[in-house]
């Protein structure tokens, strides 16, 4: 079975293979390395790649879709809250430990949750970004909240940071890690040793947040 992959070349000295959350295979290779050598390396790692792809697909297949009914659980900043459908015409709210939503709004509940997460994450990112930028002694960049699919964040060539609205469901420490990750990407574009050293300077315990995302990331969904 042929393995399809995205090839990214950089100044790194060795080949690295990453399986993204959407099961995309990304190969990072040095600029000067011949494509034949890259193919040989991928072939050598094929069993490992197939094993990781099978695990990713199995996790995705077993994720239970949210139901927008009373009693369903939704996360915000790492805590779970039950949804209560109420008779009065009410917009989505988080109050007294419950998400509440009017019965007439139930048909568009998924869209309302997306909007709610985007609005609340925007203010939270703004708050945390100010603190992290001050600690890192860098200027606070512009940022957007959007649906990035399987990516938690990204940064543009113009210096704008983009964050996935789904990270509103993650604990605040994990959100801080994603902010730090993208902030460092503004000056270091690849995941090399220098990149991770810079992340560590700002957030010494970043590895445990990275592991949390790897284990729980698939659950940040509505």
- Domain count along the chain: 2
Q: What is the mean pLDDT of residues 83-112?
A: 92
Query: Domain range holding 16?
Result: 6-61
Q: What is the mean pLDDT of residues 22-37?
A: 86
**Are residues 117 and 52 part of one domain?**
no
| DSSP type of residue 218 | G
Q: Is 51 contained in some domain? A: yes
Residue pair 98/114 in contact (Cβ under 8 Å)? The answer is: no
**Closest by Cα among 184, 172, 177, 188 to 214:** 177
Sequential DSSP letters for 105-166 = GGGGHHHHHHHHHHHHHHHHHHHHHHHHHHHHT-PPPPEEEE--TT-SEEE-TTS-EEEEGG
Q: Which of helix, strand or coil describes residue 197?
A: helix
**Are residues 112 and 212 part of one domain?**
yes
**CATH (domain of 193):** 3.30.2010.10
Least trusted range by pLDDT, from 52-66, 77-91, 199-213: 52-66
Q: What is the pTM assigned to this prediction?
A: 0.77
């Amino acid at each position: 079975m042929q393995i399809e992959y995205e090839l990214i070349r950089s100044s790194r000295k060795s080949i690295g293979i990453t399986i993204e959350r959407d099961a995309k295979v990304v190969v990072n290779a040095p600029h000067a390395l011949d494509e034949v050598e890259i193919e040989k390396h991928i072939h050598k790692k094929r069993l490992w790649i197939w094993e990781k792809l099978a695990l990713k697909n199995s996790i995705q297949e077993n994720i239970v879709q949210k139901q927008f009914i009373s009693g369903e659980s939704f996360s915000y900043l790492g805590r779970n809250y039950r949804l209560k459908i109420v008779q009065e015409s009410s917009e989505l709210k988080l109050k007294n430990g419950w998400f509440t939503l009017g019965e007439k709004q139930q048909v568009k509940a998924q869209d309302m949750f997306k909007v709610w997460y985007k609005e609340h994450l925007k203010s939270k990112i703004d708050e945390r970004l100010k603190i992290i930028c001050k600690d890192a002694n860098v200027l606070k960049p512009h940022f957007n909240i959007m649906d990035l699919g399987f990516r938690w964040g990204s940064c543009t060539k113009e210096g704008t940071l983009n964050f996935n609205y789904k990270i509103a469901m993650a604990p605040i420490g994990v959100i801080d890690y994603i902010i730090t990750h993208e902030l460092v990407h503004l000056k270091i574009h690849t995941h090399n040793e220098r990149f991770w050293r810079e992340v560590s300077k700002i957030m010494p315990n970043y590895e445990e947040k990275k592991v949390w995302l790897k284990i729980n990331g698939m659950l940040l969904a509505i």
